[in-house]
Amino acid sequence: MPDHFAVPEPDEAVKLALRRVRETTAVGGGSDMEGLEFNEVVVNMGPQHPSTHGVLRLVVTLDGELVKDVIPVIGYLHRCKEKLAEKRTYYQYIPIVDRTEYLASMNCEWGYVMTVEKLMGIRPTRRAEFIRVIVGELMRIASHQVAVGTFVADLSPLGTAMVFYMFRDRELILDLLEEVSGARMMFNYLRFGGVRYDLPAGWVDKCRELMKRMPKLIDEYEALVDDNAIFLQRTQGKGVITQQDIVDYGITGPNARASGVPLDLRRTRPYSVYPELDFEVCTAAHGDVFDRYRVRMDEMRESVKIVEQCLDMLPRGRVQLGSLRAPYVITPPPGSCYVGQENPRGEYGTYIVSDGSRYPYRLKFRDPCFCNLQLFPKLLSGNKIADAVAISGSIDLVLGGIDR
């Protein structure tokens, strides 16, 4: 028999789902109408699926269209990053951190570089701090564009124009970041004590011009979906994350802020020059899918404000401690340290244990999407499959971070 006709062996996750199905129908919870029996079906969504945003596998137990239980299976993109950290020097590891949450690379690098700087006891130069904030916030806008764009594209498969508008404008931001760092996606730009290159001539003006245009572009996106009755019906009231969930599961980022919790590490655990900047923490009241969309759109506007302030306040000076060529190999003193920063998806940080050598002894990522994904069984159960897709799109997962 050819390979593709063979039914694969059920693996652990599917076996677990099948066990649970047998448990409920055994109690007689299936029969609803006289003489009719209802069966629950175990269906596999993924790991290759257009709506799971990466190689996420959901083993879904369905009763008709209703989702009874979800078992997320991850690890299809596990790239051994934490073990690789023990074989690369601190400097060599920066490009690998880039590829953790590949939609928000600058912020991921920042989370790693801040921890190493704290271990070493050094602080970056002031100009470099402002540049980091600027590129970090530009990356936040670009990341939200992809997140909201793909979420809306999921609701009707690529049928809305919104994702095309968002990707068009994301290219404008990536152009700016490419001028600064040399790459479109994996920048390898932040260094211990500063950034790699200074801003090129004319970059500040181009950035200012784009930030002047940005609010109008965001208006364009909102004009496409905000008043759409179908969008509102599909998103309002669905997938509510309660505040108890946030406390229990450690949900951070826009998912927590949409439930009314003002948890923003730029304000609660300030780092870099954020204390000097004037911006608001965007929250919403209900915590449903629409509120998560709303919070991300508001955050894009706040990021524009932050970038404009930083461009005005940008001081002169060097962008790296010491000469531009050193140090390539650093040996932080023995100790351990964790620093978290506000990634577009939540609290992203690295816990590094150093033994004084040139390689980290242990490096652990605290990834926001890993913690957010734990909520899936609770969040998706009781909804129809179509709502499940909308809810999972609104949680904004990036498998690179979940699997590391």
Interface positions with another protein (CB under 8 A): 2-4, 8, 11-12, 16, 47-50, 54-55, 74-84, 87, 95-96, 99, 102-103, 146, 163-164, 167-168, 170-171, 184-186, 243, 246-250, 260-263, 268-269, 337-338, 340, 347, 351, 353, 361-362, 364, 366, 370-371, 373-374, 399-400, 403-404
* Minimum distance, C-beta of residue 310 to another protein, in the bound complex (Å): 23
Asked if residue 353 lies in contact with residue 84, where contact means CB atoms within 8 angstroms, the answer is no
Give the residue from 347, 287, 281 showing the smallest Cα distance to 101: 347
Nearer to another protein, 63 or 264 (CB): 264
Nearer to another protein, 294 or 366 (CB): 366
Nearer to another protein, 211 or 373 (CB): 373
Report the residue count for the chain. 404
Q: Is the peptide bond before 8 cis (omega within 30 degrees of 0)?
A: no
Nearer to another protein, 320 or 372 (CB): 372
* Minimum distance, C-beta of residue 79 to another protein, in the bound complex (Å): 5
DSSP 333-388: PSEEEEEEEEETTEEEEEEEEE-SSSS-SEEEEE-HHHHHHTTHHHHHTTSBHHHH
Q: Sign of dihedral through CA atoms 227, 228, 231, 237? A: positive
Nearer to another protein, 244 or 323 (CB): 244
* Minimum distance, C-beta of residue 37 to another protein, in the bound complex (Å): 29
Return phi, psi of residue 374, to 5°.
-60, -25
* Minimum distance, C-beta of residue 377 to another protein, in the bound complex (Å): 10
At residue 304, the 3 state secondary structure works out as helix
* Minimum distance, C-beta of residue 117 to another protein, in the bound complex (Å): 14
Nearer to another protein, 19 or 316 (CB): 19
Nearer to another protein, 22 or 168 (CB): 168
What does the alpha-carbon distance between residue 85 and residue 104 come to, in Å, rounded to a whole number?
A: 20
Asked if residue 73 lies in contact with residue 13, where contact means CB atoms within 8 angstroms, the answer is yes
Asked if residue 346 lies in contact with residue 258, where contact means CB atoms within 8 angstroms, the answer is no
CA angle, residues 65, 69, 74, in degrees to nearest 5: 115
Nearer to another protein, 103 or 218 (CB): 103
* Minimum distance, C-beta of residue 336 to another protein, in the bound complex (Å): 8
> What are 343's two structure tokens?
């990634």
Cα dihedral: 14, 250, 381, 72 (round 10): -20
* Minimum distance, C-beta of residue 322 to another protein, in the bound complex (Å): 24
Strand partners, 348: 341
> Which amino acid belongs to residue 42?
V
* Minimum distance, C-beta of residue 165 to another protein, in the bound complex (Å): 8
